Amino acid sequence: MAVSAHPQMTLTTPLHGEGARYDASLRLSVAPMMDWTDRHCRVFHRILAPGARLYTEMVHANAVIHGDRERLLGFDAAEQPLALQLGGSEPAALAQAARIAADWGYAEVNLNCGCPSDRVQAGRFGACLMREPALVAECVAAMVAAVDIPITVKCRLGVDEDNDYDLFAAFVDGQVQAGAAMVVVHARNAWLKGLSPKENREIPPLRYDWAYRLKQERPSLPVVINGGIASVQAAQAHMQQLDGVMLGRAAYHDPYVLHALEAAQTGMALRSREALLVEMRPYIEARLEAGLALKHITRHLLGLFHGQPGGRAFRQILSEGAHRPGAGWDLLEQALQVTRLQAARVA
């Protein structure tokens, strides 16, 4: 299939554009976040939001091919539906990595076209790929041809001073024609020079209207929005216009928002923070038994009582105590006890 949507596109491999369909019934997802959304974090998020789509941290295609697969790709069955996010820009390597991901049982492979870090730019992947739509389309087409799970793309609105909706839409169209089943729009530009990755999540202004327009003009394309969404109300407002919302930092720092959003969407009864934490116990004990230190799990739990009486004490007890040798479930009991006491004092 020829791609005409983008004037700079000249393809060297044919596109077929017939990838697996994306299941748009899952409307909530948790963003891929390096160093944060590891497998322990995802098990916790799964308990909070049983119907959310979860993403791994970004893994480079070459690491998938040559690295320690159990460490990079291993996951718990409870994490499903789970997507692997890949970084890279070589079609053959991405196709091979996608095949490995499909064999491991991942439900989706997502290509990172949004990370602005210097290291990633130097490797010619992430957000700088928004300047190379034809190459990205080749990557997508190669992955689509290799697997029968959905291939999706996570991108920004543009890079640096780009301020051209048509360029953004043409980028997306190119990927869809190559077979991408869904696009996650982090609704701001990436500034490739002068901003750190952290600043790149805060300073370039958010423009949700571009994602809305993209969807209005392409009703059959699943569009998921990401960037600065921190409350149930905000998420639900986006869901009125789009197929889904992806929460990043809010899900990590205030994870109960995931549960509240899932409950608001599905009508299920809200469970207490304590009940949700206790559901982690068998997982935590099994991992401790296997030799993992408690701190590797508890670091993801610190925000559970965010904004609640005792929330600070909960965080403090876990962050101080989990480093001690032999720390176990009783530390979590102790932290819970303090939040109970402080909540009772406020009530």
Ligand X SMILES: Cc1cc2nc3c(=O)[nH]c(=O)nc-3n(C[C@H](O)[C@H](O)[C@H](O)COP(=O)(O)O)c2cc1C
What is the closest distance, in whole angstroms, from the C-beta atom of residue 101 to ligand X in the complex?
15
Give DSSP secondary structure letters for 119-186: HHHHTT-GGGGGG-HHHHHHHHHHHHHH-SS-EEEEE-S-BTT---HHHHHHHHHHHHHTT--EEEEE
Of 248-256, 280-288, 323-331, 334-342, the segment contacting ligand X by CB under 6 A is 248-256
- Smallest gap from Cβ 275 to ligand X, in A, equals 26
Distance (Å, rounded) from C-alpha 53 to C-alpha 29? 4
By beta-carbon proximity to ligand X, the closer residue of 58 and 211 is 58
Strands 53-60 and 28-30: parallel
Dist CA 117 CA 125 (whole Å): 10
Is residue 154 close enough to count as binding ligand X by CB under 6 A?
yes
With beta carbons less than 8 A apart as the criterion, state whether 264 and 27 touch.
no
Q: Closer to ligand X at the Cβ: 27 or 201?
A: 201
Q: Who contacts 3 (Cβ-Cβ below 8 Å, separation ≥6)?
A: 9, 11, 15, 134, 137, 173, 174, 177, 178
156 annotated binding-site participant:
no
Annotated binding residue 110: no
Q: Which is nearer to ligand X, 14 or 67 (CB)?
A: 67
Q: Under rule CB under 6 A, how many of the chain's residues touch ligand X?
A: 23
| Rounded Cα gap, residues 223 and 241, in angstroms | 9
As a whole number of angstroms, the distance between CA 54 and CA 10 comes to 34
Looking only at residues 1 through 40 of this chain, which bind ligand X when binding is defined by CB under 6 A? 31-36
- Considering only residues 96 to 125 of the shown chain, the ones binding ligand X according to CB under 6 A are 112, 114-115
Is there a catalytic annotation at residue 128? no
Among the listed residues 337, 339, 282, 345, the one whose alpha carbon sits nearest the alpha carbon of residue 313: 339
Minimum Å distance from CB 114 to ligand X?
Answer: 5
Mark 42-81 with x for binding to ligand X (rule: CB under 6 A) and - for no binding: ---------------xx-----------------------
Which residue of this chain has its Cβ atom nearest to ligand X in the complex? 248
* By CB under 6 A, residue 186 contacts ligand X: yes
CA of residue 3 relative to chain centroid, distance: 28
Distance (Å) of CA 100 to CA 10, 19, 86, 187: 28, 17, 12, 30
Give the separation between CA 94 and CA 152, rounded to whole angstroms.
13
Does 299 sit near ligand X (CB under 6 A)? no
Between 59 and 327, name the residue whose CB sits nearer to ligand X.
Answer: 59
Q: Which of 248, 262, 19 is nearest to 146 (CA)?
A: 19
Is 303 a binding residue for ligand X by CB under 6 A? The answer is: no
The answer to whether 32 is annotated as binding is yes
- Which residue in the list 41, 115, 128, 139 is annotated as catalytic? 115
The site for ligand X (CB under 6 A) is made up of 31-36, 57-58, 85, 112, 114-115, 154, 186, 201, 226-229, 247-250
Q: Residue positions in the annotated binding site? A: 32-34, 85, 154, 186, 226-228, 248-249
Catalytic residues: 115
Which residues contribute to the annotated binding site for FMN? 32-34, 85, 154, 186, 226-228, 248-249
